[in-house]
Homo-oligomer: A and B are copies of this chain.
């Protein structure tokens, strides 16, 4: 049975995109409950300046808590070298830095052009290496940009190679803007794998902005992708890409993968119960997902036992 890693990004990508600040204790309860449901990797927060994102001010404390959960891979997002140093100090297993394939998006988002980002990636790689933490680069806006429109595939390939030369251990292709279609996912995964090595591109970070999220995930699986980012209740998105909210819904993704006979290790019933923590802590935030309303199929237990 193929083992697929569902990487929960809600505590980072979800929470960073909403106005409400989730109390630290609720974050801990969320992370603990998802881990107990079988989730093996959680992006627990980001090391950005608290003045920019007060939602992430407690990330170091959250990392320390999450590190106490046996078997959980604790990852965090860092925007730059300073964030990387804080992440290493906090004790994460891994860090990732978003590298926007659209230079306009990069400049608006982190005020850095591509050469400046590659210099930052080299510095982050050094910090990660010295700190002994895993380091991934998220190739964001890889499928298109809400400002520039199309992002040439050759540009994504070229920048991925440059990031690998700068020290990136691994990559994810990120559909920050919800632009991807399944044919494009297949093409780009193939091209980037061919350029940086198949083992270096294992992850897709997809959004469901136009409802194509799970179809894109399927296309990725068929191209050998083994890690899929998602967010409980579909919370979140990119605050700098208007209308681009909505990660893949973890509940629907897990239903799909488990039903297909792929092994996620996640107990869907326990996962669905975790929503109540979000609903209680963020009463004004809409939670998405079809499976929570419909429930699993009547023969779900038979499907996953197959």
A-side residues, CB < 8 A to B, are 144-146, 148-150, 177-179, 181-184, 208-212, 214-215, 217-219, 222, 243, 246, 249, 252, 255-256, 259-261, 289-291, 293-299, 302-303
Please list the 6 inter-chain residue pairs (A to B) with the smallest Cβ-Cβ separation, ordered nearest first. A211-B290, A150-B299, A181-B259, A149-B299, A183-B260, A149-B298
Contact across chains for A295 and B243 when beta carbons are under 8 A apart: yes
Q: A74 to B290: give the CA distance in the assembly, Å.
A: 32
User: How many copies of the shown chain assemble into the complex?
Assistant: 2
Contact across chains for A290 and B210 when beta carbons are under 8 A apart: yes
Q: Which residues of B contact A210 (CB under 8 A)?
A: 252, 255-256, 290-291, 294, 296-297
Contact of A256 among B179, B181, B289 (CB under 8 A): B181
Q: A298 to B246: give the CA distance in the assembly, Å.
A: 18
Q: Which residues of B contact A215 (CB under 8 A)?
A: 214-215, 217-218, 256
Contact of A211 among B144, B182, B289 (CB under 8 A): B289
Contact across chains for B252 and A211 when beta carbons are under 8 A apart: yes
Q: A209 to B291: give the CA distance in the assembly, Å.
A: 8
Q: A208 to B149: give the CA distance in the assembly, Å.
A: 29
Q: Which residues of B contact A179 (CB under 8 A)?
A: 297-299
Contact across chains for A255 and B295 when beta carbons are under 8 A apart: no
Closest to A242 in B: B294
Q: Which residues of B contact A260 (CB under 8 A)?
A: 181-184
Q: Besides the contacts A210-B290, A210-B297, what 4 more A-B pairs have beta carbons closer than 8 Å?
A: A179-B299, A210-B252, A210-B296, A212-B214
Contact across chains for A212 and B182 when beta carbons are under 8 A apart: no
Contact across chains for B209 and A211 when beta carbons are under 8 A apart: no
Closest to A289 in B: B211
Q: Which residues of B contact A208 (CB under 8 A)?
A: 290
A-B contacts, 30 of them at CB < 8 A, read A144-B299, A145-B298, A149-B299, A149-B302, A150-B299, A150-B302, A179-B297, A182-B218, A182-B260, A183-B261, A184-B259, A208-B290, A209-B290, A209-B294, A210-B256, A210-B290, A210-B296, A210-B297, A211-B214, A211-B249, A211-B256, A211-B290, A212-B214, A212-B255, A212-B256, A214-B214, A215-B215, A215-B218, A222-B222, A246-B290
Q: Which residues of B contact A302 (CB under 8 A)?
A: 149-150
Most buried by B among A210, A218, A243: A210
Q: Which residues of B contact A209 (CB under 8 A)?
A: 290, 294
Q: Measured between C-beta atoms, what is the minimum distance from A5 to chain B in Å?
A: 18
Q: Which residues of B contact A211 (CB under 8 A)?
A: 214, 249, 252, 255-256, 289-291
Q: Measured between C-beta atoms, what is the minimum distance from A191 to chain B in Å?
A: 15
Q: A145 to B184: give the CA distance in the assembly, Å.
A: 34
Q: Measured between C-beta atoms, what is the minimum distance from A174 to chain B in Å?
A: 15
